Amino acid sequence: MGIVKFTPREYQTKIFETAKKHNTLVVLPTGIGKTAIALLLAENRLSLYPESKILICCPTKPLCAQHVKSFGEFFSIDSNEIILYTGATNPKKRSELWNNGKIIIATPQTIESDIINSRISLENISLLVLDEAHRSRMKYASTFVAKNYNENAVNKRILALTASPGSTKEKIDEIKNNLFLDTIEIRTETDDDVKDYIQEKEIEWVKVNLPEEFNKIKDMIKLMMDEKINELRRIIPNKKFFNKKDLLALQFQFRKSIMKGNKMAFWGVSLTAQLLKLSHALELIETQGIKQLMQYWDKLEDDKSKAARTIVNDTRIKKAMQYCLDFNESKHPKMQKLKEIVQSELEKNKEAKIIVFANFRNTIDEIYKEINDGLIKPVILVGQKEGLTQKEQIKRIRDFEEGLYNVLIGTSISEEGLDIKGGADMAIFYESVPSEIRMIQRRGRVGRLIKGKIIFLITKKTRDESYYWAAKSKERTMKKTLYAMQEEPKQSKLGNF
């Protein structure tokens, strides 16, 4: 049995008391100790079942490595019994590690693979912890692991952790059902037992205008989009607007209609495909820049689909492409603002750590080239699919923590769970995201131990503005929904399947 080497805070103790008795979804602001609840519950389960094991699942290897470090630091147990268990280890070696480990910290993808291949069994796991539980939707690996655990474990207890499970009751219920959770424990920055532990975050909105040359390109794209929307309205006359979510839903409906023999639905599929591609082009010119849009035009020209052919052969899009060539040296005004902000912060505090979030890999590369100058020492953090091994990811995070780099430029991999040693002083959102989950995750990277600053770069009258307010609205709805669900009667999900 391990002994927890820290004194829990009042809210951690209260949540732990619930989690001892019920499978619990814990929703806490980032940086105030979700892992501490996992430590307390692991100690409790091992004291009840000394021969059992604890399994902690995190979506990425860098997050797994952080949990290995936390358990090694705050849990009295032989370090050889705390196992990092990921796909980077040979399968035969993993079986040996599983047998020898007491606390196994793994990616759910690896656990899923080893269950399917009969390398391991979850029968003797007395606690399953699922970190970043908002990912547990549809057929994600953590849902498979939870179902197998529920079917096979002898002494079952599930703890799910997240800062942001989603804004609607339907999304939250999906997580609860997928992970066999009985109850919810939520705390926000305003709760009496939490607010003393929340570091102040200064928020600043830096707004820029879209340059005239960008507007010329935007106008050409908009002309074609408006025409295609009018065509779509002839098929669905009662629809007043078509955002991305609407278009994807319509496309699905049209495809189902095709399967039922409706040949006219082919037109609807093509129209929605065209509008989705045009919408993406519009987003690139509004929030990213001309170079990013030019790369997208190249991609469309290589695309043999009817929708892509229709777009690239349209005279307005040909004109937009020519404008891109004419203005290709023009940078998005957010790029210069970003450099000015980073330089100013580092001139005031040479020890500052800054995280820059951006959605697109080509934008990240451009930011790196733009700011890599003298005082600014940037490093890029992206996912494996974008060309960075998990080993290199961990190394870059460590080098950033130790001051070898002072600016971390990352995609979504830098949003979730990363606990930068000492905390980041500033987070800059290069563009807004319409997701409340991603906004909360990004915000949580700063102001963990010290006061932090968050800067939103926003291009006026573009999706930067609409996405920002959409995410804020969803976050308010999420908190209201979670507090209501927290009061619902607790009913055990174990054994339902």
Domains and CATH numbers, the chain: 10-197+481-486 (3.40.50.300), 201-208+332-461 (3.40.50.300), 212-326 (1.20.1320.20)
Residue-level pLDDT, tens digit, the chain, 497 residues? 667 788 999 999 999 999 999 999 999 887 788 899 999 999 999 999 999 999 999 988 888 888 998 898 888 888 889 999 988 888 888 988 999 999 999 999 999 999 999 999 999 999 999 998 888 877 789 999 999 999 999 999 999 999 888 878 888 899 999 999 999 998 887 888 887 877 677 889 999 999 999 999 999 999 999 999 999 888 887 776 678 888 888 888 888 888 888 877 888 899 999 999 999 999 999 999 999 999 999 999 999 999 999 999 999 999 999 999 999 999 999 999 999 999 999 999 999 999 999 989 999 999 999 999 889 999 999 877 777 887 888 899 889 988 999 999 987 665 555 666 666 889 899 998 877 667 776 666 565 545 678 899 999 999 999 988 888 888 888 888 888 888 776 655 444 33
CB–CB of 53/45 below 8 Å? no
3-state secondary structure of 220: helix
pTM of the entire structure?
0.76
Q: Which of 67, 16, 18 is nearest to 43 (CA)?
A: 16
Please tell me the distance from the alpha carbon of residue 49 to that of residue 496, in angstroms, as a whole number: 23
Q: How far apart are CA 28 and CA 8, in angstroms?
A: 15
- Angstrom distances, CA of residue 63 to CA of 39, 85, 133, 141, 243: 16, 12, 13, 16, 34
Q: Which residues contact 449 (CB under 8 A, 6 or more apart)?
A: 31, 199, 422, 423
